[in-house]
Amino acid sequence: MDERTYAPEQLLGPLNEVEKKNAPKRLFVAGDTDLLRTSTRVSIVGSRKASPAGVRAARKLAEELAARSVVVVSGLAEGIDTAVHTSAIDSGGRTIAVLGTALSDFYPPKNRVLQERIMREHLVVSQFPPGTPSRPGNFPMRNRTMALLSDATIIVEAGEKSGSLHQGWEALRLGRPLFLMVELLSDPGFAWRAEMERYGAEALRLENLDLLFESLPEGARGEASQAAF
């Protein structure tokens, strides 16, 4: 494994004060760092115990982003994350996995082959030095870093205690666009959805991704004005 270490500014360019406050001191990477230096990146996150509809939506989103040369970012967890990474790869796109463990660890173990492929052909990022124990508290920290590395975040499907909510709040804190897949987040019991929308999250619908592409840097929008499934 070709592991290298960088300060965030070396990969992302100059950071503003809010970004500096939320950035880890070091990033440990394996793979193609140009995906952080030159590309437009969108995170797609959601539940580990995803519904079939959630998995389908995540795969469609990743496929559409890959078609627009947007790098798809996720956390290599089960469920939505795994669907996102595999769909981006299957579509001929590029993907970044942001880990809640050191690069030398594989969690979940069933994703070892996928992680090793992303290390070789795409990019894997961790803020945790070699030998760092795997703890539950690492994953909210990972979500903060994933929000920092992404130009926008989409929450596909998440319950009240989903770790994806951490990333949503971090995206808003950083001033990044946050989108909620409303077809899959319609449960009126999800109070967090209304709260996030109050602080700037926007509803995103499967049939039209205009809102997402309009929020991205010019180079990421592609030629089509509408992305429809």
10-residue mean pLDDT profile of the chain (229 residues): values are 90 93 94 93 91 91 93 95 97 97 93 97 96 84 94 85 83 92 67 83 80 74 37
CATH number of 3-220: 3.40.50.450
CB atoms within 10 A of CB 197: 14
Backbone dihedral angles phi then psi of residue 79, each to the nearest 5 degrees: 80, -125
User: Which pLDDT value is given to residue 193?
Assistant: 78
> Are 112 and 89 spatial neighbours (Cβ–Cβ below 8 Å)?
no
User: Which pLDDT value is given to residue 226?
Assistant: 37
> Are 45 and 154 spatial neighbours (Cβ–Cβ below 8 Å)?
yes
227: amino acid identity, one letter: A
Contacts of 22 (CB under 8 A, 6+ apart): 144, 147, 148, 170, 173, 174
Residues in the chain: 229
User: Which pLDDT value is given to residue 160?
Assistant: 67
User: Which pLDDT value is given to residue 184?
Assistant: 67
User: Which pLDDT value is given to residue 83?
Assistant: 96
Return d(Cα 41, Cα 161) in angstroms, integer. 25
Return d(Cα 186, Cα 31) in angstroms, integer. 38
3-class SS of residue 3: strand
The residues spanned by each domain of the chain are: 3-220
Instruction: Give the end-to-end CA distance of the chain in Å, rounded to a whole number.
Output: 38
Question: Both tokens of residue 150?
Answer: 């992404």
User: Which pLDDT value is given to residue 163?
Assistant: 72
Return d(Cα 228, Cα 173) in angstroms, integer. 30
User: Which pLDDT value is given to residue 63?
Assistant: 95
